[in-house]
Chain A
């Protein structure tokens, strides 16, 4: 068990949330020499992160974020060297096109990424099958990004937490931070049921729960929960080698998506959302079941691509709430009273970005220049746009 907060628990920084973002932030701050307490309401990695398909790649993600995404991919590769036990696999990523009309979008992305020094290509169906032999469905073509990787999300969070703990960070789990402490206009720590944890810096990395905690200090954040769902088959012999997705079409935040991959356990993990995620009302604490249309679309897409899998057993489904922002980018940076920071708004692709968000927070706390465009993630960016 982690420690319990009690009378006089003190730290330089409290990180709220032990998902991949919180674990990465805690690690970055602890390695920089700060005394860090990381507080988690449930099980570390047990909410959004553990339910993630944890793809580490730059392909068809976000043009403006490409420098940060490239840096993140290199950082993950370096972390896999340092802490090898989290099933990091640079398996590459295919994004299929069903018809000719999707070529324009594919060509555009390939152009953007090639200009940034990456090496995506467009493959015909025969070339696709050389990479992914069981993908025999009638696709038009697919883009291929050889550098994308996947990790085991549970193990990755664990390794990050262990790295933070090795740098003397303290983990408090199954203990929610109930409110922020603000004294004289400055952040002074967090409240818990067992008493306060005092700290001059608080970083909320609480995914869809972030806005609720920020509101206790009067800070309004435009983060809403969005239902995200996934299916898994029983373990089968290795039959999918890459991460298979749909070519990213227009539509931004609300566009649909597909992701299919096989975990090291042999389970095939897959999801397809055709009409785009629906932002859910209500609390992210009340996790519903998958819905029927999602099950149908996900299996139909999987079997369209991999018709041989029809008689494999479906084993499990799961639902989580991911945190989304109006422009689908993280809110990472200072917010509200001095000493308060947030790093949340994964938009369902937080795994790859988590190390970059941690870097931004660590630079801000240290008063260092960041190599990345902070304005993209500034929590106040929407206020400024409204004012302009």
Chain B
């Protein structure tokens, strides 16, 4: 049974304890505002600054950075609520979270949403086999449990995050056996990097990790995962510079036991969407993202701010900067004495613009290939919760709907336990491939309360007073 509900009145509620949320919370707390920070993990840090749940010393540079940031936030007086999953928010800005000790109702004057991102998975034949997971999941396993996804891991997909995972696996003494990057290595990447000397050190570090991988391919894509009980082999094919896959030149890589494949990240917009903030679609920013005023982090809804990946995929550096900006401007809007902050905010704004220019450029360079939505075959399961195949979804598009919402009503795709978080973007891409509309036009399934499955007893406890 659920424990009793706790109600916490506060000035500012920060949702998400990654780089953006931690910086936002600290900035606001240092300005003299009462700040509560809620995070779903056992310990704050988020995916990027992930901390060992036992409190053991961090494995990575990022872990160390994160430990320092958490300590600073704590010293500034931020009240942390770890292991608390936000499942509802109402127009009056009340937020409900569930914890092992029962639900908490937050009654804040303002909210900063810093919920981060999740992996962008794309269905392909064999993707539901054990041993196939996203790079983010592989990274979590390594950072949280110190375990590799397998003994002979293949990293695949696209984007620099693959190299970050490679680095972690190398540190664990389990360097991946192959790296299959869809993008061709070319001068454009080098030229882009050349314009941002501040990122050279990080790039050099990642290249060292890449060199530990015996087989590296660029301009290749995994078209199938093969195995009975578990993935044991993959089919790969060349992909040309316009994103077309040449299946006639397919090859097989065998003797593997894990495949980490992903196409970058998507902003986790459930909470901002539930709060009715305005969103836009840009493939280079991970698709749908929350629109903010870059100088303040304000969303289109009064009293709601957003920072970090939820405002468009950009990585940890812009996340920290946008978090700090949102924290400072929320504090100012809440009446904190922020005289003298203007010059800092202006400087942060300039740094953020530079950092975003770098990441937006990377986002465009590592845009998923055009043929990605053709990987799933007719019998490939697209919605894993409800086990809906591509052919079933395509039949919905043929029968009279071209939207993600239509596919859901027609086939139940996206109606299961994950509520379309895993398959929603893929369905939009398939809609685009089948009907000629854009993924933006295909839309997304608006999130509804509860944002995550929560026991009925906890929801009842959290709504018992029924106040509107």
Beta-carbon contact of A290 and B454 below 8 Å: no
Q: Which of A235, A265, A293, A316 lies in contact with B450, CB distance below 8 A?
A: A316
Task: Write the chain A residue with the least CB distance to B449.
Answer: A317
Interface 1/0s, chain B 437-453, versus A by CB < 8 A?
A: 00000000010111001
1/0 contact trace for A290-322 toward B, CB 8 Å? Answer: 111101110110110000011111111110000
Chain B neighbourhood of A290, CB < 8 A: 448-449
Contact A299 B460 (CB under 8 A): yes
Q: How large is the interface on B (under 10, 10 to 19, 20 to 34, 35 or more residues)?
A: 35 or more
Contacting pair B448 A318 (CB below 8 A) = yes
Mask of B413-454 contacts with A, CB within 8 angstroms, 1/0: 001110100000000000000010000000000101110011
Docked Cα-Cα span, A314 to B103, in Å, equals 14
Interface string of A84-128 (1 = CB under 8 A from B): 000000000000000000000000000000000000000000000
Q: Is the CB of B459 within 8 A of A295?
A: yes
A193 part of interface (Cβ distance < 8 Å): no
**Contact in complex: A312, B402 (CB < 8 Å):** no
Does chain A have a CB within 8 A of B409? yes
The reply to whether B435 and A1 contact each other, CB–CB distance below 8 Å, is yes
Q: Which residues of B contact A226 (CB under 8 A)?
A: none
B434 → chain A, closest Cβ, in Å?
9
A289 contacts partner chain B, Cβ-Cβ < 8 Å? yes
Are A314 and B468 interface neighbours, CB within 8 A? no
How far is A235 from B466 in the complex, measured between Cα atoms in Å?
26
Is B403 an interface position by the 8 A CB rule? yes
Q: How far is the CA of A305 from the CA of B448 in the complex (A)?
A: 25
A154 at the interface (CB under 8 A from B): yes
- A285 → chain B closest CB, angstroms: 13
The reply on A45 being an interface residue by CB < 8 A is: yes
Given contacts A44-B401, A265-B412, contact A292 B457 (CB under 8 A): no
B109-149 contacts to A, CB under 8 A, are none
Interface secondary structure of A, over-half rule: mixed
Closest residue to B403 on the A side, CB-wise?
Answer: A43
Q: Which of B401, B459, B464 meets A314, CB within 8 Å?
A: B459
Chain A residues whose C-beta falls within 8 Å of the C-beta of B55 in the assembled complex: none
Contact A161 B463 (CB under 8 A): no
Partner of B400 from the list A1, A234, A300, A313 (CB cut-off 8 Å) is: A1
> A310, B448: Cβ atoms under 8 Å?
no
Nearest Cβ in chain A — how far from B392, in angstroms? 13
Closest partner residue, chain A, to B441 (CB atom): A174
* Residues in B lying within 8 Å of A, measured CB to CB: 1, 90-91, 274, 386, 397-403, 405-406, 409-410, 412, 415-417, 419, 435, 446, 448-450, 453-457, 459-460, 463-464, 466-468
A residues within 8 Å of B by Cβ?
1-2, 18, 40, 42-46, 50, 154, 158, 161, 171, 173-174, 233-235, 265, 287-293, 295-297, 299-300, 302-303, 309-318
What would be 10 A-B contacts, judged by CB atoms less than 8 Å apart? Answer: A44-B401, A45-B409, A50-B409, A171-B400, A288-B91, A289-B449, A296-B460, A314-B453, A314-B459, A315-B419
